[in-house]
Amino acid sequence: MHVLIGLIGLVVFLALAFLPSRDLRMLRVKAPYILALLALQVVLAILLLRTGIGQAVIEVIAGVFGALIGFAGEGVAFVFGGLVDVEAGGAAPFVFTALAPIIVISALIGILQYLRVLPLVIRGIGSVLARVTGVGKLESFNAVSSAVIGQSENLIAIKKILPGLPPHRLYTISASAMSTVSMSIVGAYMTMIEPRYVVAAIVLNLFGAFVVVNLLNPYELTPEEDVTVAPEQSRQSFFEVMGEYILDGGKVVLSVAAMLIGFVAVMALLNGIFAWALGGTTFQDLLGYAFWPLAFLTGVPVPECADVGRLMATKLISNEFVAMLSFTEAAPGGPVQLSERGTAIAQTFLVSFANFSSIGIIAGAAKSLAPEQGDQIARFGLKLLYGATLVSFITATIVGLVV
């Protein structure tokens, strides 16, 4: 039964993506790409979540990030001394166990950038993607770049042509950035939710973003327009680059910690007010009821739709970290308990930057490089969030079909 519901849900989410454009001519042009991308997503989901090869790949990736988390623990223990026990296995405060790895992974990304390894990988994968996505080379390059170095940092690589990008191309670049996540925070995710769903979401979202933009924001490019751009080459020394990326990682940690403190506190305040006014029904309970139909369409078991809907809404209005906390011991009342399929759908949905705060982050980054483009992104901010959220729904639905 859940397969039928999931297929219906997939059709509904695709229809919602098509609704803003309603361009039947472009739909006929883009349909082969859309169908190919959807088929590729299903195949990749099966490969990653249902086969021994996929599990082996995920175990290797999780092992690498686990090692990096261990190295981060050594650094935290050195700086904070007796406050943190490296062998405590998660008993230390959340900022040390989950957020500290961001600094280490950010430093590693800086090293790989300095060695010119990441630019080669990004350009290679982007070139392959451009052949199957139905969008331009620049958009494909940007999608891979966003998934590696982050939704705002990757704009630096295209800053020379950013001022001249028309709104439709700017939308695609921004939507793919919001649909992915930066490699620097993947380790933090893996301390809160299952690594296999983190990896699956990252891979599927990369292709899902092109499915949505081909429906919501379709366009064709001439050969003259379909050009890419060489990434900006840094002339800094090795230690300058590593120091810069370490400090960037530290800024991310502080930003995430500050957002968690603020959002969790505000959420608790709203829950208290609503529970007092509505006789025990909290603000998050209402969010769960509002998102119940959407959770149902992804294939979530009916008894869990309100719980998963609450997680989806929490992520949308705050950020993914706040929602992911519900799966940890740090959650008020303990971790949320869901079935295997409910867990798979909820956790894959959470792995993206699709939330209100990301609109400001992307628009602000663009504004610092090209002020008029930053204003343009802010103008289509809600449409951007709409598209990126549909990417998460499509990914979660596909995962629900194969789990």
Burial of 217 (0-12, 13-18, 19+ CB in 10 A): buried
pLDDT of residue 387: 95
Angle at 371 between CA 365 and CA 377, to 5 degrees: 65
Q: What string of pLDDT tens digits covers the 403 residues of the chain? A: 889 999 999 999 999 999 998 889 999 999 999 999 999 999 999 999 999 999 999 899 888 887 877 777 777 777 776 665 555 554 556 666 667 777 887 888 888 878 888 778 777 777 788 788 888 888 888 888 887 777 766 776 677 778 888 999 999 999 988 898 877 788 889 989 999 999 999 999 999 999 999 999 998 887 777 766 554 555 778 888 888 888 887 887 787 778 778 877 888 888 889 989 988 888 888 888 889 999 999 999 999 999 999 999 999 888 888 899 899 887 777 889 999 999 999 999 999 989 888 887 788 878 877 889 888 988 998 899 999 999 999 999 999 999 8
pLDDT of residue 200: 94
Q: Phi/psi of residue 329, each to 5°?
A: -65, -15
pLDDT of residue 229: 56
Rounded to whole angstroms, the Cα distance separating 76 from 92 reads 10
The count of other CB atoms within 10 Å of the CB of residue 344 is: 26
Q: What is the DSSP string of 189-224?
A: HHTTS-HHHHHHHHHHHHHHHHHHHHHHS-----TT
Residue keyed to tokens 């990434």: 231
- Residues 264, 325: contact at Cβ < 8 Å? yes
Furthest-apart CA atoms within the chain: distance in Å: 65
pTM of the model: 0.86
Rounded to whole angstroms, the Cα distance separating 321 from 301 reads 24
pLDDT of residue 1: 84
Rounded to whole angstroms, the Cα distance separating 167 from 339 reads 42
pLDDT of residue 186: 86
Rounded to whole angstroms, the Cα distance separating 257 from 260 reads 5
Nearest-CA neighbor of 340 among 308, 311, 371?
308
Q: Which residues of 130-169 are buried (b: 16+ CB within 10 A; e: fewer)?
A: beebbbbbbbbbbbbbbbbbbbbbbbbbbeeebeebeeeb
Q: Which residues of 351-379 are buried (b: 16+ CB within 10 A; e: fewer)?
A: bbbbbeebbebbbebbbebbeebbebbbe
